[in-house]
Amino acid sequence: MTERERRERFNELYTLYDRRVFAYCVYVTSDRDIAHDVYQEVFVKAFQAMHTLKDPEKQAHWLFRIARNECLNAMKARQRSEKRSVDIDHVYDQLQHEILPEQHDEIAHLRRAIAQLPQDYREALLLAEFEGFSLKEIANMTGASLSNVKVRIHRAKLKLHAILEPILNDYE
Amino acid sequence: MNERIQELITVYLHRGSTPAQERELFEACKNDPEVAEHLRQHLILSLKLRRLRDDITVEDTLHAAVSRRISRLAEKDAAVPSAVEAPRATGTAHATGIANAAGIADAAAPPRRYGLRHVFGSAVATAAAALLLFLFLPDGGNTPPAQRAEMRPAADTVLVVQRDTVLQVREVERPVYIVRTERVNESDQTAGDGGYAASADNAAGADAAGQTGTPPADQPSELIDAPLPQSTAPDTPALTDRSRHDSAGDDVEGVYPSETDQTEQHSAAATTDRSQLYADAGDPTQQARAEKARNYLEQYNAMLVSVESVQLTREDRVTY
């Protein structure tokens, strides 16, 4: 792969997935500052490892696997340092400007509900619902068994349903 | 809600269901409104989560930061020359052909990292050489340079001879004064000198301290006053004191030049002394004859000793 090919493929990947990767990082880490750092690292590592991407059809899987690893590393580092406290409300305040006023209550409620999920449930749910990965792909990405992934997603949804019952029932 | 329906909903929402599973789920929804409601809530949740994802926007500053880092990385990679490809071993071409035919991509060669291996290799070699040198040097190379200079063999050897007996063998490294002691006439003798006078010359013996060839004026009297050693055994304590070699005129009594003619002169003086020593004993004629024979023998021995032992250079020898 020449340098030019590498750059072209990276640009294509970046255009397709920049928002999705950032959203994933924000919701998995529940910290916008950490998400900023992780987002940069994900694309830098993707650029460095571009020659290892053999099958372009699996580039989403490949990229989100990098993103997942980087998010886990960042969260472990945060736990080690314990200098940062996960303040979900602070994250929501940062995201205020991105939300329309009429959607504010519902989306804020949804974000809060996601943040309350255990990390492995949240991760499986986001990969499935945000990115539309199949159960097999998620199992491959997370290293969990297929049945375990099913269980995680199912339990995550049950919890969300319990939290979001009023919204879901009022949905027209 | 039974587990089977939950599983059907999950696989349906996540692209994992087969046509048979989808048909089973729709039949369940048609027969049971509760299942249909459950499926609806799942779909709404998925919809809301997708909307949540789409609400996120990446800031321009973040785009710029990523772009900067990628550009810097690309420049850095372009600056590094590509690694030299190692020559393929015999038979590798065949394996490559098989791999190409099977559609197996060639694994990217890892970047060559020589590290500091060669530096460490030469450092080890240098250390080993230094160790060998240290071990094989005499006394581990600890001898100061001045002492090492003293360890060299002496430049010259001087015999101290009284009559025909070698009293001392001394090593000299610096020019020495060789003084001949001789018997002088009573009329020429200065008072209280014990019958000896010394003449000293040193044609080429001026040392680095600027001393002239002739010893200082007080030295002859010292030489005269110093008693001649009577024993034939070498005076070892006096010999080992090397510091006394440094002065030009010290302790030179009885040092004779090794030339044969000088030995003859010495023997003539010795003969005079012996005649006095044996004055009271027996027939003077026989004694003189025996003495003469002994003198010849002594002269011969002295000559041999002188030739073997005295190795002064031509410049250092005393001219009479």
Using one digit for the tens of pLDDT, what is the confidence trace for A14-64?
Answer: 998 988 899 999 888 888 888 999 999 999 999 999 888 888 888 888 999
Q: Do B15 and A132 touch (CB under 8 A)?
A: yes
Please answer whether residues A51 and B108 qualify as being in contact, where contact means their C-beta atoms are separated by less than 8 angstroms: yes
Q: Which residue has the higher pLDDT, A142 or A101?
A: A142
pLDDT band at residue B262 under the 50/70/90 scheme? very low
pLDDT of residue B181: 56
Using CB atoms, pick whichever of B13, B15, B56 lies closest to residue A98: B56
CATH code of domain A100-172: 1.10.10.10
Sign of the alpha-carbon torsion through B91, B92, B94, B99:
positive
Chain B within 8 Å of A84 (Cβ-Cβ)?
no
pLDDT of residue B195: 42
pLDDT of residue B139: 60
Chain B within 8 Å of A48 (Cβ-Cβ)?
yes
Using CB atoms, pick whichever of A47, A111, A171 lies closest to residue B52: A111
pLDDT of residue A70: 92
Chain B within 8 Å of A16 (Cβ-Cβ)?
no
pLDDT of residue B112: 59
Q: What percent of chain A has pLDDT over 70?
A: 82
| pLDDT of B171 over the 90 cut | no
Label each residue of chain B as H, E or C.
Answer: CCHHHHHHHHHHHCCCCCHHHHHHHHHHHHHCHHHHHHHHHHHHHHHHHHHHHHHCCCCHHHHHHHHHHHHHHHHHHHHCCCCCCCCCCCCHHHHHHHHHHCCCCCCCCCCCCCCCHHHHHHHHHHHHHHHHHHHHCHHHHCCCHHHHHHCCCCCEEEEEEECCEEEEEEEECCCCCEEEEEECCCCCCCCCCCCEEEEEECCCCCCCCCCCCCCCCCHHHHHHHCCCCCCCCCCHHHHHCHHHHCCCCCCCCCECCCCHHHHHHHHHHHHHHHHHHCCCCCCHHHHHHHHHHHHHHHHHHHHHHHHHHCCCCCCCCCCC
pLDDT of residue A31: 83
pLDDT digits (tens, 9 = 90+) for A78-114: 877 755 444 555 555 555 545 444 555 677 788 888 8
For residue B252, the tally of other CB atoms under 10 A from its CB is 23
Residues of A in contact with B105 (CB under 8 A): 54
Q: Which residue has the higher pLDDT, A37 or B281?
A: A37
Using CB atoms, pick whichever of A14, A19, A106 lies closest to residue B56: A19
Backbone phi and psi for residue B291, each to the nearest 5 degrees, phi listed first: -65, -40
What average pLDDT is seen over chain B? 63
Q: Do A47 and B73 touch (CB under 8 A)?
A: yes
pTM given for the model: 0.45
pLDDT of residue B221: 42
DSSP code at position B255: B
| pLDDT of B303 over the 80 cut | no
Q: Do A51 and B10 touch (CB under 8 A)?
A: no
Indicate the range of A158-167, B6-15, B49-58, B82-91 predicted with least confidence.
Answer: B82-91
Largest distance between two CA atoms of chain A: 55
CA distance A110 to chain B (A): 8
Q: How many CB pairs under 8 A join A and B?
A: 103
| CA distances in angstroms from B181 to A5, A112, A134, B209, listed in the order given | 107, 124, 123, 26
R_g of chain A computed on alpha carbons: 17
Backbone phi and psi for residue A124, each to the nearest 5 degrees, phi listed first: -65, -40
Residues of B in contact with A52 (CB under 8 A): 108
Query: What is the mean predicted confidence (pLDDT) over B300-316?
Result: 57
Query: What is the mean predicted confidence (pLDDT) over B198-203?
Result: 42
| pLDDT of B314 over the 70 cut | no
CA distance A130 to chain B (A): 6
* Range picked from B92-106, B128-142, B215-229 for highest mean pLDDT: B128-142
pLDDT band at residue B212 under the 50/70/90 scheme? very low
By three-state DSSP, how is residue B41 classified?
helix
- Percent of chain A that is helix, strand, coil (3-state, to 5): 85, 0, 15
Q: Do B10 and A135 touch (CB under 8 A)?
A: yes
Mutate to test the interface with B, among A44, A110, A157 (most CBs of B within 10 A): A157
pLDDT of residue B97: 52
Query: Facing residues of B27 across strands?
Result: none
pLDDT of residue B296: 79
Query: What is the mean predicted confidence (pLDDT) over A131-140?
Result: 85
Using CB atoms, pick whichever of B14, B56, B70 lies closest to residue A23: B56
ipTM here: 0.76
CA distance A44 to chain B (A): 6
Query: What is the mean predicted confidence (pLDDT) over B136-146?
Result: 60
pLDDT of residue B138: 59
Q: Do B66 and A150 touch (CB under 8 A)?
A: no
Chain B within 8 Å of A43 (Cβ-Cβ)?
yes
CA distance A75 to A153: 21
pLDDT of residue A172: 46
Chain B within 8 Å of A99 (Cβ-Cβ)?
yes
Residue ranges, comma separated, of all CATH 1.10.1740.10 domains in chain A are 1-88
Residues of B with CB under 8 A from a CB of A: 6-7, 10-11, 13-16, 41-42, 44-46, 48-58, 62-63, 65-66, 69-70, 73-74, 77-78, 105, 108
pLDDT band at residue B111 under the 50/70/90 scheme? low
By three-state DSSP, how is residue B172 classified?
strand
By three-state DSSP, how is residue B153 classified?
coil
CATH code of domain A1-88: 1.10.1740.10
Query: What is the mean predicted confidence (pLDDT) over B134-157?
Result: 61
| pLDDT of A3 over the 90 cut | no
Q: Do A136 and B16 touch (CB under 8 A)?
A: yes
Query: What is the mean predicted confidence (pLDDT) over A145-156?
Result: 88
